Amino acid sequence: MKPQQNSKNMLQQIRAVMAGNADAKDRLDKLVEVIAKNMQAKVCSIYLHQADGFMELWATKGLAASAVHQTRLAPGEGLVGEVVSSLSPLNVENASNHHLFSFHPETDEINFLSFLGVPVLRAGQLLGVLVVQDDKERLFGAETVEALQNVAMVLAEIVASGELISLEELSEAEIHSTRSHTLHGTSIVEGLAMGVAVMFEPHMIGVSRIAEDPEHEIERLESALDDLRKTLDRLFMGKGHAFGEPAREVMNAYRMFAQDQSWFERLCKAAKAGLTAETAVERVRGEYRQRFLAARDPYLRERLHDLEDLSNRLLRHLGGVAIARDLPENTILVARNIGPAELLELDRSRLRGLVLEEGSRTSHAAIVAAAMRLPVVGHLLGLQANVLGGDTILVDGENGQISIRPAVETENSFIERLRVRRQRRATFAKLKNSPAISIDNQRVQLLLNAGLGIDLPHLEETGADGIGLFRTEFQFMLADHLPKQAQLIKLYAEVLTTAGDKPVVFRTLDLGGDKVLPYVSHAQEANPALGWRAIRMAIDRPGMFRYQLRALIHASAGRTLRIMFPLVSTVAEFLQARKLLEQELARLTRFGHTDLPVKLEVGCMIETPALVWQLERLLPKTDFISVGANDLIQYFFAADRENIRVSDRYDPLHPSAVSMLGQIVQAAATHNIPISLCGEMAAQRTDAAILLALGYRQLSVPASAIGPLKQLILSLDIADLSKSLAKWMAESNPDIRKRMRQFAKNANLAM
């Protein structure tokens, strides 16, 4: 019998067991007997996850019956524990010889050699482990592994439905506290929001999990997928335009993913094995989720969010259910994750914030949320377990945390923060046309960090002095193919036109590391952050680099083109990159192109400590430099600022870091080379004040930081602070941050 036919027969037998009138224990016993027989195995066991983290044996065919409810495996214990840890199948030909084998005498397990265990997962959550064993030393075949995964998928729905097992038996009765609770995560989109929780519950599994007619299920899948694609096309032509080019680019990439033939083929394969269309979607979702989460490629991990969203939408099309649009006023949407299309379909006028159990700053949903100006906090572990629909939630996108069911005092304090934030925004709006001039009459240029079309209106809104950093890689990352040069020229020209007489500095492609393109082959690296990325890629494989340079040159016709190169480690690297730019310009001139810039300025980013010790040779070769403080400081301390375990070692105001930043600005002054600084420290008023005291007069920051920084500068005597900083640095081990806070208090600075 073919494996697929065998799987289908087994699922039909399981269905018959479920339809019987026997009590729960008898049906569980019959269930493991059916699985063991069809798998041609001596043993089948079901372990279920308990509230205390232990895995408890709930049913078995082949092990000692007395071991049921007596055998409990501690977290991570044995081969079952390894399945739990990896959330993937474990296939072992001789279990007793495996280094993780854990023997429990009460099971009489010693005579069984081969072991196959698969996780019982539902919507990414572990419910248990399904195990088959045999007395022969062998590896189970790939078809057997897949069949057992199909059974585990059905078992997950049986367990979750409570048809066989009371859920109270599996976990302690979960009583949601009425007390306030704070969860700490990551700020994905900055902002503050207050509202009521609305649970985003996209999963829809039909009552039936085992198909009577597989061909009919495949037809249902084809029809639902066709409806899904048409809906996405309509959304792309409608709301895909409403929030600008980034949302449109995201939706286009998303539509292409929905056309993926391999996704449909996997769905059909699961249906042919005997699963209903809905269960097939969940089965394939789990398969992809397991594979994508295990991938080191950040792009693949981000595509998981698209797949999750598409799966949810497909389930709704299968069930004929539309996404809920009747949101209450002041909705805070609560979800494990969400896709860009789901977000676009919701009523933005009622949405106040979004909180995610997962989520990331580079996901497609984050890009769309930023376009919608929706505060988002992600990486909130335990979010859905702690929130009930209707709970009041305070979303703090500034500090990356949320408050659930806040105390009256906390809520009142947050309302005051919202009020002050609105007042401050009104104050900053009044300052937008005023130059940033300190009390001692020193002019500071506050420049904007940008990278998408939606950032351009911030120039006018904030009164920024220009764009100090335009990140050019986003257009390459948002699509599934190389952007057309005409598209790049159009975007770059739009940036320059919007800026008018204000300067714009384009940073060339900073790809590699955690920024991987789906249409460019790449090798996995042990340490991507220190690997083949940015200018290194541009020099070694100049095709895409020159492609971008041509677009920048054409877009700058009749204007000044300012370009800087990222992650330069040596003067030789900078000169190689500059030579490629000059060759491209000469080539276009030679071929008679007249749409060329009237002036070219080439700069270098100072992001590696190695380059700090080459400034005397570098500066005469540059037109300007920009200190990329984020990378420079983390490489200086060899501490990843995103890693919570070592982030306390990353301190831009440590005396050694302050000394290095001072050396750079002094070297630039000696050679009369313009210098700016971009990075998170430039946007923090305490850190920015120290930068001003060191001599920096150009800071490139996010739009939200320009108003607060301007207010600070207008209240600051930079010369006075410079004298104080010199005294602090003369001490043996000064706490610069503490000293700066005291200075700000004494000087009544707008901090």
Task: Reduce the DSSP state of residue 323 to 3 states and report it.
Answer: coil
Task: Reduce the DSSP state of residue 662 to 3 states and report it.
Answer: helix
* Set 305, 317, 364, 554: catalytic member: 364
Count Cβ neighbours within 10 Å for each residue of 339-368 and write b for 16 or more, e otherwise.
Answer: bbbbbbbbeeebbbbbbbbbbbeebbbbbb
Task: Reduce the DSSP state of residue 591 to 3 states and report it.
Answer: coil
* 44 catalytic residue (yes or no): no
> In the beta sheet, which residues pair with residue 187?
377
Mapped to the 3 state alphabet, what secondary structure does 229-260 carry? HHHHHHHHHCHHHHCCHHHHHHHHHHHHHHCC
DSSP state of 621: G
Count Cβ neighbours within 10 Å for each residue of 171-184 and write b for 16 or more, e otherwise.
Answer: eeeeeeeeebbebe
Q: With contact defined as beta carbons under 8 Å apart, do 594 and 633 qualify?
A: no
> In the beta sheet, which residues pair with residue 477?
none
The angle at the Cα of 280, spanning 278 to 286, to the nearest 5 degrees, equals 110
Q: Which of 263, 262, 163, 283 is nearest to 211 (CA)?
A: 283
Q: With contact defined as beta carbons under 8 Å apart, do 225 and 295 qualify?
A: no
Q: Which residues contact 451 (CB under 8 A, 6 or more apart)?
A: 470, 471, 472, 473, 474
Count Cβ neighbours within 10 Å for each residue of 521-555 and write b for 16 or more, e otherwise.
Answer: ebeeeeebeebebbbbbbbeebebbebbbbbbbbb
The sign of the dihedral angle between the CA atoms of 368, 373, 379, 382 is: negative
* 364 catalytic residue (yes or no): yes
Give the C-alpha separation, 639 to 631, whole Å: 10
Q: Which of 578, 88, 517 is nearest to 291 (CA)?
A: 88
Give the C-alpha separation, 452 to 481, whole Å: 18
Give the C-alpha separation, 243 to 235, whole Å: 12
Task: Reduce the DSSP state of residue 473 to 3 states and report it.
Answer: coil
Q: Which residues contact 206 (CB under 8 A, 6 or more apart)?
A: 276, 278, 279, 318, 319
CA 190 centroid distance within chain: 15
Give the C-alpha separation, 245 to 236, whole Å: 11
Count Cβ neighbours within 10 Å for each residue of 420-439 and write b for 16 or more, e otherwise.
Answer: eeeeeeeebeebeeeebebe
Amino acid at 56: E
> In the beta sheet, which residues pair with residue 377?
187, 355
- Catalytic machinery residues: 364, 678
